[in-house]
Amino acid sequence: MTRFLTKLIVALAVLAGAMLASIAFGSHPTSFGDVLDVLSSTADPNVATVIESRYPRTALGVLAGVCLAVAGTLMQGVTRNPLADPGLLGVTAGASAAIVTSIAFLGMSGDAVWWALPGGLLAGLLVHVIGSSGGGSGVARLVLAGAVVSAVLTAYVQAVTLSLPKVFDSYRYWVVGALGGRGFDVLTSVLPVAVAGLLLAAVLGSGLNTLALGEESAAALGANPGLTRALGMLAAVLLSTAATAAVGPIAFVGLAVPHIARWPAGSDSRAQLLFSALVGPALLLLADVVGRLVLAPTELMVGVVTAFVGAPALLLAVRRMKAAA
């Protein structure tokens, strides 16, 4: 217990440091001292405006990081596939298709991001319905359903954006994934969906531990593997949809963070979910800070930075899988 609490305190400290760095650093030069001045109401008004403008960005980074990391942990636990991530559910493709449809055929522009939420939820529901029918392994059906739905929706998005250049101009700012340019209104709109997904994930920890033993062993212990899998998928859909609708599709967080979280958490799924919820936002916020500083005064979108960070994590996961085999 002492070792666990020590690891938990370290993870909380890293997250707090990432949040402070997200508020303190950006394309406009400020410092930790400026943050303290703002908190004590002694800062220059211009500096205070700059720092306060980063509050929504930091809050969205925390929300998106928690949602993507926990969704990835759920996906890998439910499918027992260490390379699974929220994109497997077709949520990203569904949100993208909804965005493109609203811009191309409904005349939306800046308000198009609000269509990502129902689009992602419908795509996730479609994957679940297709994956729940037919024969074969439930996990295999789900993976195939996600691949099919994602392929079809991605082809639709490409067809529309290539045919209508104006749609592409509006869509390309969302598709990379970024924390900037959004306010607290976006946070409040997706928060109920995120909270529902997190509450559902919190009650699934013990079920995931049982499911890790195999379906036959889980059933012998009195668990319901099918129900655990369905609820896990539902929670992952809710979480990844909320994150995608809020900040756009951000790659590799849902894939990389569960592997990082296993180092302090061990094999306990409940601890993995907890540490993922702390590591995910810290990683996303630090990636966003790097994106703001590396090309200052311009910015590199956080989705690009996480891709660079996540690629080595993917290679490490593959190497660990080979070693275990």
pLDDT of 279 reads: 94
Query: Three-class SS string for 284-303?
Result: HHHHHHHHHHHCCCCCCCHH
pLDDT of 86 reads: 79
Q: Cβ of 311: how many Cβ atoms within 10 Å?
A: 14
Indicate the pTM of the whole model: 0.87
CA 64 to chain centre: 5
Please, are residues 32 and 24 in contact by the beta-carbon 8 Å criterion?
yes
pLDDT at 124 over 90: no
Amino acid occupying residue 282: A
**Phi then psi dihedrals of residue 233, to 5 deg:** -65, -40
- Rounded distance between C-alpha atoms, residue 22 and residue 282, angstroms: 10
Q: Quick one: which of 124, 122, 240 has its CA closest to 190?
A: 240
Instruction: Indicate the pLDDT class of residue 109, thresholds 50, 70 and 90.
Output: low
pLDDT digits (tens, 9 = 90+) for 197-231: 999 999 998 888 888 777 677 777 777 777 888 88
Mean pLDDT value across the chain? 84
Helices (H), 248-268: 253-265
pLDDT digits (tens, 9 = 90+) for 152-166: 999 999 998 888 887
pLDDT digits (tens, 9 = 90+) for 293-322: 888 778 888 888 888 876 776 676 667 655
What are 100's two structure tokens?
């493109």
pLDDT of 71 reads: 93
289-295 contacts, C-beta under 8 A, 24 or more apart:
289/18, 289/21, 289/22, 289/25, 289/26, 292/25, 292/26, 292/27, 293/25, 293/26, 293/27
For tokens 């990203």, name the residue: 92
Q: Quick one: which of 97, 154, 147 has its CA closest to 120?
A: 97
Domains belonging to the chain, first-starting first, are 2-324 (1.10.3470.10)
pLDDT above 70 coverage of the chain, percent: 91
pLDDT at 237 over 80: yes
- Rounded distance between C-alpha atoms, residue 145 and residue 130, angstroms: 6
pLDDT digits (tens, 9 = 90+) for 43-61: 788 888 888 889 999 999 9
- Residues 70-91: b if buried by 16+ CB within 10 A, e if exposed: bbbbbbbbbbeebebbbbbbbb
- Rounded distance between C-alpha atoms, residue 251 and residue 253, angstroms: 6
pLDDT of 313 reads: 65
Residue 314 class from Cβ within 10 Å (0-12 exposed, 13-18 middle, 19+ buried)?
middle
pLDDT of 280 reads: 94
